[in-house]
């Protein structure tokens, strides 16, 4: 009788182990798929705002985005997207213009570039960890 109970217990324990292992593997797979999707989505956003900037300003992508950020001919929303793209690209050449607009004060999205976005972009351009840096931009 004891062997039967022991056999059922070890059988259930084996099933539980399998469910846990497969559950963890499935979770990691979904996380990896989500991470890759997010990376390509970021890349797509960078390409989109870069293409818009390059159409209007001469030079390479970073120079065009810098000019886009400086220009008051564009909405603050679009200029903030250019700030974000510069941060994602992480080129140190963008630091002077990013620092020029960064005050460290509270955000006033109706009148000025987003201070939080500028701060993040500055950190990324200075070499902070960027989880999507491996992806060609």
Domain annotation covers residue 17: yes
Q: Is the pLDDT of residue 21 over 90?
A: yes
3-state secondary structure of 50: helix
109, 83 contact by CB (below 8 A): no
- Number of structural domains the chain divides into: 1
> Residue 116: which domain range?
2-125
pLDDT tens, position by position, 79-108: 999 999 999 999 999 999 999 999 999 999
What pLDDT sits at residue 132?
81
> Smallest Cα–Cα separation from 99: which of 80, 113, 118?
118
Provide the CB-side half-sphere exposure for 93 (13 A, CA): 11
Assess whether pLDDT exceeds 70 at residue 8: no
pLDDT band at 134 (very low <50, low <70, confident <90, very high): confident
Looking at residues 105-124, what average pLDDT do you find? 95
Residue 20 lies in a domain: yes
| In a domain? residue 115 | yes
In a domain, 137, yes or no: no
Cα 92 to Cα 23: distance, rounded to the nearest angstrom: 43
Examine residue 15 and state whether it is found in any structural domain, yes or no.
yes
Inside any domain, residue 136:
no
| 132 located within any domain | no
Least confident of 8-12, 50-54, 75-79: 8-12
Confidence at 11, pLDDT banded by 50, 70, 90: confident
């Amino acid at each position: 009788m004891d062997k039967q109970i022991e056999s059922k217990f070890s059988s259930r324990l084996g099933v539980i182990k399998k469910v846990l292992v497969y559950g963890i593997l499935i979770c990691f797979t979904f996380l990896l798929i989500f991470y890759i999707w997010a990376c390509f989505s970021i890349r797509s956003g960078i390409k989109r705002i870069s293409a818009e900037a390059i159409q209007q300003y001469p030079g390479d992508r970073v120079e065009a985005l810098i000019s886009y950020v400086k220009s008051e001919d564009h909405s603050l929303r679009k200029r903030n997207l250019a700030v974000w793209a510069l941060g994602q690209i992480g080129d140190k050449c963008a630091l002077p213009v990013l620092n020029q607009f960064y005050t460290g004060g509270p955000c006033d999205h109706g009148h000025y570039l987003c201070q939080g976005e500028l701060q993040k972009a500055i950190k990324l351009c200075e070499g902070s960890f960027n989880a999507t840096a491996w992806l060609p931009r």
